[in-house]
Structure 1
Amino acid sequence: MNEDLLFNEAPEGPPRYSRLSTKPVQYLTVADKDGQVIGYAWANDEEDAAGWVVRKAGGDEAFNEGSVWAFKLHDAKARDIAPTAALAEMIQESDPTKTSHVVPGSLTEAPNADAVRQLGNSN
């Protein structure tokens, strides 16, 4: 109990899209089964960037359900799929009978990833 802990640096881990994009991004709105927005998935191919933004006003339920959408992005990157192709898959595979789904027709553009993050902070 009195020994120092030794930390060994771990390998990089699984591949991930960049979480930063200063260029225009495409994004989707995701809602729960009741139609309440829980968050946004965004992507930019030029910077190999993509991310999930939880809508903070959605509380713990939005945070928990958002992990499904973040995992979809991680899985797409592991399969070496372009970020916007990952969004296209999300649209194609979305099912409104599930606990959350892509809002139909919600694919749009924002000036950058920070603009989408601001959406997550709004009411």
Structure 2
Amino acid sequence: MSSEQRPNPRLNEDLRFDAAPGGPPRYGSRSDKPVQYLTVADRSGEVIGYVWANDEDDAAGWLVRKAGGDEAFNKGGRWARKLHDAKARGLAPTAALAEMIAQSDPAAGSHVVPGSLTEAPNADAVRSLAATS
């Protein structure tokens, strides 16, 4: 008998990874067209990030403010979920922003800054704002 172990043939098989259709509906993550965005702050008024949207590209996203650190990142999950939920209900991206404004509660852990709805030339402009502010 040989002391040499033979590898299991299943460990030598080529694996194929095929993208499977389905998954939760998502807004697109890019837009080079003008976007609307909201500023989101925590309970103390510190800006934690921005939510942006463009209907023409069916795109929207949450951008955490880099200077906000881990706390801003953690609180931002709520805003990303709001976007996912809005898309699942078939809302247009800017309608999702309008809903966020209407349902915002300054007493919550984070909220939309009143009167912060603004337009930017594209999503990258809002990304730059989040990275440098």
TM-score, length-normalised on structure 1? 0.93
TM-score, length-normalised on structure 2? 0.87
Aligned equivalent of 1:87:
97
Q: Report the residue type matching 1:73 in the other structure.
A: L
The yes-or-no answer on 1:77 pairing with 2:87 is: yes
Q: Report the residue type matching 2:85 in the other structure.
A: D
Task: Name the Cα RMSD after superposition.
Answer: 1.7
Stretches (4+) displaced over 6 A: none
Query: Quick one: which of 74, 79, 84 aligns to 1:64?
Result: 74
Query: Quick one: which of 87, 97, 110 aligns to 1:100?
Result: 110
Gap runs ≥5 in structure 2: 1-7
Residue 45 of structure 1: how far off its partner (Å)? 0.5
Aligned equivalent of 1:13:
23
Gap runs ≥5 in structure 1: none
Q: What CA distance in whole angstroms lies between the structure 2 residues aligned with 1:9 and 1:109?
A: 36
> How many residues of Structure 1 are paired with residues of Structure 2 in the alignment?
123
Rg larger for:
2
Q: What CA distance in whole angstroms lies between the structure 1 residues aligned with 2:12 and 2:58?
A: 40
